[in-house]
Amino acid sequence: MSKTGDAGRAVDRKQARVTRLLDEVTRQKSLHVRDAAELLDVSEMTVRRDVRNNENFFQFLGGHIMAADGSAQRTPYDLTEASERNEAAKKAACAACVPLIREKDTIFVDCGTTLPHLVGMIPVDMEVTLICYALNIADMAVRKPNIRLVVIGGTYHPPTASFYPLDEDATLAQFAIGHAFISAAGVDADLGATCTTFREAGVKRAAMARARSSVLVVDRSKIGQIKSACIADLAEFDVIVTEKGEMTRDAVAKHQARRVGRA
């Protein structure tokens, strides 16, 4: 069998796959990458590659595939793809947080690519109330039958797959939160936890103010990075958790010093 023939059949299969995906996305308006992979009987990585290679047909919003709209502003990055970076470390950090969650707890789960792993690790039979404002977190939570999901509404912000209130939102004030699990794009021993979006930082701070315990959950690649929006000083977190388990502020400072070559 010739290599040319094999290549031609591969192209035909890819074209058929893209055509079927476009038909399904057009019909459903949006399709989660996991569901697309199951539909097409391929890996999620193959689906993401097809989407990236056909930007004139598709776009990602969080973990969902939607038809491309030339009039819409495209996301600067794909959260699904970003979640693969340091994935093992993110999962390990979340695994260290699971013992903090108790039956009947009310928890706040922040946005980003780390904390969906935490939601996925909550035992199926555990009853908890989960408050969030991010599409990818809500998408994981609805798959757990014993999670009571509360989503803070607002305007959808594609880069973080999150909803930000147009006005002051009183939803958080109605709940006594046990643990607020907070993510960050940067952690600095002096400047604290930071993120890229000021509205996002405001929601994080509001959740921390309503929580008995605030837990910063990051992989250690974030230590030493600084983003523009301040979330809180490290002293304002009751627990700091990385893939190595709990870290003190002193441990964060030492790790940061090693990374930048000061020690």
pLDDT in tens, 162-210: 888 766 667 788 899 999 999 999 999 999 999 988 889 999 999 999 9
Angle at CA 237, nearest 5°, toward 170 and 119? Answer: 65
Locate all alpha helices (DSSP H) within 29-69, ordered by sequence: 33-40, 44-52
Rg (CA), the chain: 20
DSSP string, 129-163: EEEE-BHHHHHHHTTSTTEEEEE--SEEEGGGTEE
- Cα distances (angstroms) measured from residue 28 to each of 22, 153, 180: 10, 22, 34
% of the chain surpassing 90 pLDDT: 56
Given pLDDT bands bounded at 50, 70 and 90, which one contains residue 78? low
Look-up: residue for tokens 């780390």? Answer: 114
pLDDT tops 50 at residue 76: no
Contact at 8 Å (CB) between 223 and 259?
A: yes
Look-up: residue for tokens 């309503």? Answer: 210
Q: What is the mean pLDDT of the chain?
A: 86
* pTM score of the predicted model: 0.69
pLDDT, residue 107, reads: 98
Listed residue (107, 133, 200, 135) closest to 121, CA to CA: 107
Q: What is the DSSP letter of 59?
A: E
Look-up: residue for tokens 């609805």? Answer: 142
Contact at 8 Å (CB) between 129 and 106?
A: yes
Beta strands at 155-157 and 162-164: parallel, antiparallel or unpaired: antiparallel
